């Protein structure tokens, strides 16, 4: 059984992002910690999916509808995830224990018993999941409704009961490997149509019975046949071994399918449980939440009440920004020091990752495009090896981005080229924007380079928009951005005064 609650045919796209850089630049670790709630497996799942944003609109919309069901039926989603997780942990623990216990060749009956234990465990948790699903209804997502119907139709109560009965019958192998087989004699007295009837439960068979047991099970109207012949006895032993091997393969195949299903359940419901945890966290703090809309026909970014989740989680800060623009490609962000420029840049990057992963965003409204890749370029610490200077480090990072970025992507630049003079930085910044602009790449650029931003502002390109972080008359920061051209000063003296007066 294949589960397709995240992707179609469970084909995951290769990430077109630099995961480590995104984690660092956008400060995603606190967000992931909220989603995981100290569950290391959940942390791994959410990190993988958040840093592997989808570029398929239908896929994203499907995830949104499933997550909405998850928010409504949170207990069910958590039960499915926890059941799958616990089952896999127990199976792994049993496997590890068996591997340490049996460091020699294991007999087929012992292998059957080991596989039966795994099957019992898998069946126990699949039954819990089946029972939980049957108690719920009124799902709105077509994908989730389909999953529930398929799962309960396959793992019916009668199926689970029948499998459990068969597994119980195998426990007699702890005492004996005697089995009852039916055969027909074909041409040349060759055996054909071998059928395994049952495993005999005679706990204390005599030595004589042990030797020829397959031939002495008495059926109605049939007399016992006892043949003392070493050749025949060896042949019978071969038949018994072949039958036991077939039993082992059958149980192993069942376990392989069950474990594969449990792995899917763990991963896919873990993804949604991360979203459910985040939804509860934000709702409890009255933070804006919305499911994004995606626009195909033109470049769009419209958002109201957008929060930076890093500050929400770290400082319980609820400062928001609202912007609404169409047909804009370059977003030049200037203004006062410590005025919220980097915070805004981070909020855009985080919101876009959440949106394209199929989650909601921390905004009252969020309408955007689907970008083919997302990259960030934030300041680095100086190279401690002294192999490269700061500007050379910047250029090497940009070279790596340019080699990997694709058309119709999103690029977030924070103080890029601030490591050189304003004149050189302005020249390099213009060259960069001109180059990436030809590929339809949308760029958000935070800069203090007045020469660059002012000259671009005067050119008045229709695809450019200028946002500015301002200050109040008394020097206080609002931490909100508004449309406006660049100004010469970043009001660094405000910070100097605050620091000096604090001494």
Q: Could you tell me the pLDDT band of residue 410, with boundaries at 50, 70 and 90?
A: very high
Same-domain pairing of 305 and 214: no
Which of 252, 281, 306 represents a domain boundary (last residue)?
Answer: 252
Q: Could you tell me the pLDDT band of residue 11, with boundaries at 50, 70 and 90?
A: low
Higher pLDDT, 191 or 18: 18
Average pLDDT of the residues in 5-34 = 84
Q: Quick one: pLDDT at residue 501?
A: 58
What range defines the domain where residue 196 resides? Answer: 177-252
Q: Quick one: pLDDT at residue 65?
A: 98
Is the pLDDT at 212 greater than 70? The verdict is no
Q: Quick one: pLDDT at residue 18?
A: 82
Same-domain pairing of 315 and 427: yes
In sequence order, which residues have a C-beta less than 8 Å from that of residue 272 and are 6 or more positions away? 5, 66, 67, 70, 77, 81
Q: Could you tell me the pLDDT band of residue 268, with boundaries at 50, 70 and 90?
A: very high
Same-domain pairing of 489 and 340: yes
Contact 372, 16 (CB under 8 A): yes
Same-domain pairing of 357 and 246: no
Higher pLDDT, 9 or 354: 354
Residue 394 lies in a domain: yes
Residue 61 lies in a domain: no
Q: How many helices (H) and strands (E) does the chain have?
A: 16, 12
pLDDT in tens, 137-171: 889 999 999 999 999 999 999 999 999 988 888 87
Q: Could you tell me the pLDDT band of residue 36, with boundaries at 50, 70 and 90?
A: very high
3-class DSSP string for 450-466 = HHHHHHHHHHCCCCEEE
Same-domain pairing of 325 and 388: yes
pLDDT in tens, 50-63: 999 999 999 999 99
Same-domain pairing of 307 and 228: no
Higher pLDDT, 14 or 398: 398
Q: Quick one: pLDDT at residue 158?
A: 94
Average pLDDT of the residues in 240-247 = 81
Q: Could you tell me the pLDDT band of residue 226, with boundaries at 50, 70 and 90?
A: low
Which of 252, 280, 301 represents a domain boundary (last residue)?
Answer: 252
Q: Quick one: pLDDT at residue 317?
A: 81
Residue 50 lies in a domain: no
Average pLDDT of the residues in 342-370 = 97
Residue 116 lies in a domain: no
Average pLDDT of the residues in 287-301 = 95
Whole-number Å distance between alpha carbons of 18 and 349: 13
Average pLDDT of the residues in 258-277 = 98
Average pLDDT of the residues in 407-413 = 96
Look at strands 442-446 and 330-335 and give their pairing.
parallel
| b/e burial code for range 391-404 (CB count within 10 A of at least 16 → b) | bebbbebbeebeee
Q: Quick one: pLDDT at residue 245?
A: 86
Q: Could you tell me the pLDDT band of residue 210, with boundaries at 50, 70 and 90?
A: very low
Which of 252, 283, 318 represents a domain boundary (last residue)?
Answer: 252
Is the pLDDT at 1 greater than 90? The verdict is no
Is the pLDDT at 345 greater than 80? The verdict is yes
Span of 85-94, 97-106, 230-239, 328-337 with lowest mean pLDDT: 97-106
Is the pLDDT at 325 greater than 80? The verdict is yes
Same-domain pairing of 307 and 236: no
Same-domain pairing of 350 and 491: yes
Is the pLDDT at 175 greater than 70? The verdict is no
Count of domains observed in the chain:
2
Higher pLDDT, 25 or 16: 25
Whole-number Å distance between alpha carbons of 425 and 446: 13
Same-domain pairing of 366 and 222: no
The CATH number of the domain holding residue 395 is 3.40.50.300
Is the pLDDT at 466 greater than 50? The verdict is yes
Is the pLDDT at 499 greater than 60? The verdict is no
Same-domain pairing of 301 and 403: yes
Residue 312's Cα: distance from chain center in Å? 23
Q: Could you tell me the pLDDT band of residue 337, with boundaries at 50, 70 and 90?
A: confident
Same-domain pairing of 378 and 485: yes
Same-domain pairing of 213 and 321: no
Q: What is the average pLDDT score of the chain?
A: 86
């Amino acid at each position: 059984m294949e589960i397709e609650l995240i992707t179609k045919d469970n084909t995951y796209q290769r990430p077109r992002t630099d995961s480590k850089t995104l984690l660092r630049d956008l400060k995603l670790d606190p967000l992931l910690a909220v989603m995981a709630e100290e569950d290391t497996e959940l942390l791994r799942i959410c990190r993988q999916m958040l840093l592997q944003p989808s570029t398929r609109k239908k896929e994203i919309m499907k995830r949104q509808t499933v997550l909405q069901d998850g928010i409504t039926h949170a207990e069910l989603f958590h039960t499915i995830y926890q059941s799958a997780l616990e089952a896999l942990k127990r199976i792994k623990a049993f496997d590890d224990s068996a591997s340490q216990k049996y460091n020699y060749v294991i007999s087929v009956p012992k292998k059957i018993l080991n596989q039966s234990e795994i099957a019992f465990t898998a069946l126990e948790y699949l039954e819990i999941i089946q029972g939980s699903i049957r108690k719920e209804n009124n799902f709105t997502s077509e994908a989730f409704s389909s999953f529930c119907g398929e799962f309960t139709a396959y793992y019916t109560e009668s199926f689970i009961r029948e499998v459990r009965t068969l597994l119980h019958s195998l426990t007699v192998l702890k005492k004996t490997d005697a089995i009852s087989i039916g055969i027909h004699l074909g041409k040349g007295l060759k055996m054909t149509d071998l059928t395994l009837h049952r495993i005999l439960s005679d706990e204390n068979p005599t030595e004589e019975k042990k030797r020829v047991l397959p031939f002495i099970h008495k059926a109605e109207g049939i007399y016992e046949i006892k043949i003392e012949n070493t050749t025949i006895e060896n042949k019978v032993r071969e038949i018994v071994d072949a039958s036991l091997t077939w039993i082992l393969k059958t149980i192993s195949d069942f376990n392989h399918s069950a474990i594969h299903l449990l792995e899917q359940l763990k991963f896919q419901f873990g993804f949604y449980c991360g979203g459910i945890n985040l939804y509860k966290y934000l709702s409890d703090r009255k933070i804006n939440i919305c499911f994004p809309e995606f626009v195909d026909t033109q470049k769009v970014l419209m958002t109201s009440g957008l929060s930076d989740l890093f500050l929400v989680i770290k400082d319980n800060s609820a400062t928001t920004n609202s912007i609404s623009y169409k047909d804009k490609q370059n977003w030049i962000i200037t203004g006062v020091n410590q005025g919220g420029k980097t915070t805004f840049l981070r909020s855009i990057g985080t919101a876009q990752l959440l949106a394209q992963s199929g989650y909601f965003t921390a905004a009252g409204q969020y309408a955007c495009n689907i970008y083919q890749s997302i990259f960030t370029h934030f300041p680095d610490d100086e190279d401690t090896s002294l192999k490269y200077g700061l500007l050379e480090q910047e250029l090497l990072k940009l070279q790596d981005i340019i080699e990997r970025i694709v058309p119709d992507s999103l690029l977030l630049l924070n103080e890029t080229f601030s490591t050189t003079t304003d004149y050189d930085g302005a020249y390099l910044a213009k060259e960069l924007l001109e180059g990436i602009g030809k590929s339809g790449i949308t760029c958000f650029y935070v800069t203090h380079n007045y020469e660059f931003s002012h000259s671009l502002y005067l050119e008045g390109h229709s695809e450019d928009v200028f946002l500015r972080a301002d200050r109040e008359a008394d020097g206080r920061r609002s931490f909100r951005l508004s449309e406006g051209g660049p100004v010469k000063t970043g009001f660094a003296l405000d910070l100097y005064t605050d620091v000096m007066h604090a001494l």
